[in-house]
Structure 1
Amino acid sequence: MASISSLGVGANLDLNGLLEQLAAAERAPVVALQRQQISYTAKLTAYSRLQGALGTLQAAASKLSDPRLFEGVKAGSSAADVLTAAGSAHAVPGVYSASVSQLAQAQSLVSGGRPSSTTAAVGAGTVSISWGTIAGGAFDAASGRYTGAGFAEDAEREAVSIAIAAGTTLEGIRDAINAKADAGITASIVNDGSASPHRLVLTSTRTGENASLRISVSGDDALQDLLAHDPAGIQNLRQTAAAQDAKLTVNGIAVTSQSNTVAEAIQGVTLNLLKTGASQVNLQRDTGSVGSAIAEFVNAYNGLQATARQLTAYNAETRSAAPLVGDGTLRLIQTSLRSALNTPQAGSLQTLSRIGIAFQKDGTLQIDSAKLTEALGSNLAGVAELFSTRNPGGGYGQQLAHLVEGFSKTDGTLDVATAGVKTSLKRLDERIVDAEERVAATVARYRGQFTQLDLMMSRMASTSAYLTQQFANLNLGGSGKK
């Protein structure tokens, strides 16, 4: 049987073109189904965009539902070079006077100078480090040592031991101390340029009076001479910086702190001390963050409306419609949200219009900034009740968040609509496969019939040519008779 590419040769007809036209006609229902498939796929994409816009709105509404948003305090310092302040929800608005007389610092000790190279062996033994408070006595700044002092060990911190192997150099001792994760000190080597220039410097990693160091050494004399240090006894190290607490007053009340980060000296406030001096700490409700959260909510709602307009648009010139024109699911979502935002709340403010938020003709929300600022300044508690769970009914924030969750959750409005479209697409896929098989079978039947026609016409043409030739020969023969 001849192939489709040779159809019509025998019959001298364009059977190949005719077959293509017939195949196209048979595929018309398939093309219609494919158009439906494209439409449903576009609808799925549209639902996905709608889901994203709803997610943004839900996040903004959930933020407003949290009463802690409305409890935030903004802290300011009149002398930011002296201290900075950060407030929490527990802070009480007001103005506080703070004066820093002393910063917390870590103790620093330095060894005697060594004339030899830092790579020369020092000694071997075990170094034990403990922490505590230096009590009483007198400190001589020139020698860097105490006389008549006592040492009260910190019972909450265990001593740390560091093994120093035989042949360890000054650099090796430094590295052994720094390699000990819980040593509580850092070690470095300085060169002071003298005849015995190399000195080991030890600095506590913690500030505060109870972070003073006592170093015991068991081992050879060289290691003891280098590191043994007891403020109440032998002091082979010289103190260059004392362990001390931060000292300040808040409204005339004396405060001490082991670090320069001072929490709760002012209720709900953390002070970060930078240098000695005085500053006024001003605490006020953080209405700016609340205003920003409300603006985010309005923008999220308007963003949802903009998405809805795009998904329901109709172009009269091209007569083309967006995927969700006339869609009942989207219409239900829009109606429900608007109804929720128009429902009055319990409390002093009750409606969005009382704080300067109103619906426009196009369905979007608009903020009157002056009115919102005035409401935040004069009745922040009322605004909190309007939006947050301080309201017995949950406020607009929780209500909108729950409403959107109902749309988006499994078996929710949007999920059901999406599932319906997916089911329709699956059925369309099955119908297209069946239709394509029917078209293929029909075209194959046409092809067979055309092939038979082509062969028959070819034989008839051959027979006609043969008969024509025979008749011609007979006529030639007859013309030769006498």
Structure 2
Amino acid sequence: MGTISSLGIGSGLDLNGLLDQLKDAEREKLKPVERQIANQDAKISAFGKLEGALSKLQDAAETLGESELYSSLSASVSGDSAGAAAGKEAMPGSYRINVETLASRGTLASKSVDSVETPLTGNAEETLSLSFGKSANDTTMKIAAGSSLEDIRDAINANEDAGVDASVINDGTGYRLALSSREAGADASITNFTLSGLTADSNPVEDGGTLQAGTDAKLNVNGISITSPNNQVEDAIQGVTLNLKETGETTVTIEQDTLAVREAVNGFVKAYNSLKETTASLTSFNAETGQAGELNGDSTVRMVESRLRGLVGGAGQSGGDFSLLSDIGIALDKDGTLSVESDKLDDVIANNQQALADFFSGTDGAEGFATRLGGSVGQMLGDNGAVQGAISGAESRVDSLGNRYERMEQSVDRTISRYRSQFSQLDGMIAEMNQTSSYLTQQFNALDAQMKAGG
């Protein structure tokens, strides 16, 4: 029996169409597994959203649990002559700042030369000496033989210890080497330099030269005179950094940073409500459409909600002035979300911040609310926690379903291959039968013709 290379050629039947229908029917067996994989993938994605919302809540709780939050100070400034930043060592108080002089950098230029490329040093290496406001700051550096003005500039800028930055300026009649002290203040001010072939124009600016001495900043704080080599003045006020901007008066007030505490509380409320919104979406059910959230009925979400509800609605550390969130102005609403009673919270922050710190971060004898909440969320999110366990379980089911799908797909391929082989055999058999039928018809027709001719 001959081999049929294309189904249906020998029989005239649409065997390819029939085989495609059988293949589609066989692959229908894969769809339930595909749906199960898609369902588990959707659950993994949903658990990822839950994990993200819990992580934000944990971060907010950790911020509230930091005891430094309740002892931090802020600096407020009235006036334009200075800015201020308070550090850990700062003390509350009000300070009147009068900036008399800003710190500046010294500048000096050489006398003019005709070309930037003409060699200014001899055939041997030379020493460039740089003098500053204090002789102890004086430095020397080597300048290569045959160096031009540009070469000298580049050598200075490449030297980390030069104490000055160099540039070349065209004054309209020639070229000058211009030096600017890298640091502000009188002691760091460039005053002179010496080098064969290049002369410093070291007369003061007011006498027609180019020397402009650097100056120290001068200010007084509450009437006390202070000198600083730069405009960032540290510890003139303990724990406070002043940034001088211009001459004039400024008042700096160091006080408890109530804004940071208020922002931390509001951040916690926002994170908690965002988590509630996430869980509500993931567990939702639309009765009209029958559409359910990816984690509708999931036990992990129920456990998370139950545990958090117990923590948020329960009492805090014993022995403190506050025991419930409502005591400090955070209300638990009927829908399970939190809201802030601003007036009550502001009063607590302004007048009883230590008790607020004890409530959130705890005391020596008891954990605070934020500490307990952060620890509980951390357990849920840990490697052995409920959320990670749910994600790992869904991932394992996806792997198992994937293996099952692969085996079923191989089985479908084998079945279709068997059908193809059987159809090929059928096609060949029908082709042979058609050939035999045609042959016999021809023989019978020939015999009939002979019989009629002989009659």
Output the TM-score relative to the length of structure 2: 0.82
| Residue 184 (structure 1) shift | 0.5
SS at match of 1:320: coil
Separation (CA, whole Å) in 1 of partners of 2:398 and 2:430: 47
| Residue 479 (structure 1) shift | 9.3
SS at match of 1:272: strand
| Residue 355 (structure 1) shift | 2.5
| Residue 42 (structure 1) shift | 1.3
> For the structure 1 residues 249 and 43, does the alpha-carbon distance in structure 2 shift closer, same or farther, using more than 3 Å as the test?
same
The aligned counterpart of 1:208 is 185
The aligned counterpart of 2:356 is 383
| Residue 261 (structure 1) shift | 0.9
The aligned counterpart of 1:234 is none
The aligned counterpart of 1:138 is none
Check whether the contact 1:71–1:90 (CA below 8 A) recurs between aligned residues: no
> For the structure 1 residues 253 and 344, does the alpha-carbon distance in structure 2 shift closer, same or farther, using more than 3 Å as the test?
farther
The aligned counterpart of 1:433 is 406
| Residue 287 (structure 1) shift | 1.9
Separation (CA, whole Å) in 1 of partners of 2:186 and 2:10: 107
Q: Are positions 1:327 and 2:298 aligned together? A: yes
Separation (CA, whole Å) in 1 of partners of 2:188 and 2:298: 71
Separation (CA, whole Å) in 2 of partners of 1:43 and 1:85: 51
> For the structure 1 residues 412 and 300, does the alpha-carbon distance in structure 2 shift closer, same or farther, using more than 3 Å as the test?
same
Check whether the contact 1:7–1:450 (CA below 8 A) recurs between aligned residues: no
Residues 152-190 of structure 1: per-residue CA shift (max 9 Å, x gap): x43xx5x53222345444454444333322210233455
Amino acid at match of 2:264: A
Check whether the contact 1:215–1:230 (CA below 8 A) recurs between aligned residues: no
How does 1:352-391 map onto structure 2 within 5 Å?
A: 352-388=325-361
Match of 1:288 among 259, 273, 276: 259
| Residue 210 (structure 1) shift | 2.7
The aligned counterpart of 1:139 is none
Q: Are positions 1:279 and 2:281 aligned together? A: no
> For the structure 1 residues 201 and 449, does the alpha-carbon distance in structure 2 shift closer, same or farther, using more than 3 Å as the test?
closer
The aligned counterpart of 2:103 is 104
The aligned counterpart of 1:147 is none
> For the structure 1 residues 200 and 33, does the alpha-carbon distance in structure 2 shift closer, same or farther, using more than 3 Å as the test?
closer
SS at match of 2:252: strand
Check whether the contact 1:340–1:400 (CA below 8 A) recurs between aligned residues: yes
Check whether the contact 2:70–2:261 (CA below 8 A) recurs between aligned residues: yes
The aligned counterpart of 2:129 is 128
The aligned counterpart of 2:370 is 397
How does 1:21-40 map onto structure 2 within 5 Å?
A: 22-40=22-40
Amino acid at match of 1:384: A
Check whether the contact 2:86–2:254 (CA below 8 A) recurs between aligned residues: yes
> For the structure 1 residues 471 and 296, does the alpha-carbon distance in structure 2 shift closer, same or farther, using more than 3 Å as the test?
same
SS at match of 2:75: strand
> For the structure 1 residues 7 and 258, does the alpha-carbon distance in structure 2 shift closer, same or farther, using more than 3 Å as the test?
same
Check whether the contact 1:324–1:330 (CA below 8 A) recurs between aligned residues: yes
Structure 1 unaligned spans of 5+ = 134-152, 232-236
Separation (CA, whole Å) in 2 of partners of 1:266 and 1:73: 14
> For the structure 1 residues 453 and 114, does the alpha-carbon distance in structure 2 shift closer, same or farther, using more than 3 Å as the test?
closer
How does 1:73-84 map onto structure 2 within 5 Å?
A: 73-80=73-80, 82-84=81-83
> For the structure 1 residues 63 and 464, does the alpha-carbon distance in structure 2 shift closer, same or farther, using more than 3 Å as the test?
same
SS at match of 2:403: helix
| Residue 446 (structure 1) shift | 4.5
Residues 83-134 of structure 1: per-residue CA shift (max 9 Å, x gap): 11112233222211222233323333455x447556555445312235454x
Residues 255-303 of structure 1: per-residue CA shift (max 9 Å, x gap): 2222111111112211112233222112222222222222222222222
The aligned counterpart of 1:303 is 274
> For the structure 1 residues 7 and 341, does the alpha-carbon distance in structure 2 shift closer, same or farther, using more than 3 Å as the test?
farther
Check whether the contact 1:127–1:215 (CA below 8 A) recurs between aligned residues: no
Separation (CA, whole Å) in 2 of partners of 1:353 and 1:408: 27
Separation (CA, whole Å) in 2 of partners of 1:293 and 1:362: 23
The aligned counterpart of 2:55 is 55
Structure 2 unaligned spans of 5+ = none
Separation (CA, whole Å) in 2 of partners of 1:24 and 1:375: 70
> For the structure 1 residues 467 and 178, does the alpha-carbon distance in structure 2 shift closer, same or farther, using more than 3 Å as the test?
closer
Check whether the contact 2:201–2:209 (CA below 8 A) recurs between aligned residues: no
Separation (CA, whole Å) in 2 of partners of 1:331 and 1:437: 40
> For the structure 1 residues 449 and 163, does the alpha-carbon distance in structure 2 shift closer, same or farther, using more than 3 Å as the test?
closer
Check whether the contact 2:23–2:416 (CA below 8 A) recurs between aligned residues: yes
> For the structure 1 residues 371 and 5, does the alpha-carbon distance in structure 2 shift closer, same or farther, using more than 3 Å as the test?
farther
Q: Are positions 1:181 and 2:160 aligned together? A: yes
Separation (CA, whole Å) in 2 of partners of 1:57 and 1:352: 16
Separation (CA, whole Å) in 1 of partners of 2:141 and 2:384: 64
Check whether the contact 1:97–1:278 (CA below 8 A) recurs between aligned residues: yes
Check whether the contact 2:102–2:218 (CA below 8 A) recurs between aligned residues: yes
Output the TM-score relative to the length of structure 1: 0.78
Residues 332-363 of structure 1: per-residue CA shift (max 9 Å, x gap): 12222222223322332232212222223332
The aligned counterpart of 1:416 is 389
Separation (CA, whole Å) in 1 of partners of 2:227 and 2:33: 80
| Residue 38 (structure 1) shift | 1.4
The aligned counterpart of 1:312 is 283
Amino acid at match of 1:329: T
SS at match of 1:161: strand
Mean Cα displacement is larger for which, 388-397 or 48-57? 388-397
> For the structure 1 residues 424 and 7, does the alpha-carbon distance in structure 2 shift closer, same or farther, using more than 3 Å as the test?
farther
> For the structure 1 residues 359 and 9, does the alpha-carbon distance in structure 2 shift closer, same or farther, using more than 3 Å as the test?
farther
Residues 127-159 of structure 1: per-residue CA shift (max 9 Å, x gap): 2235454xxxxxxxxxxxxxxxxxxx43xx5x5
SS at match of 1:262: strand
> For the structure 1 residues 3 and 206, does the alpha-carbon distance in structure 2 shift closer, same or farther, using more than 3 Å as the test?
same
| Residue 201 (structure 1) shift | 4.1
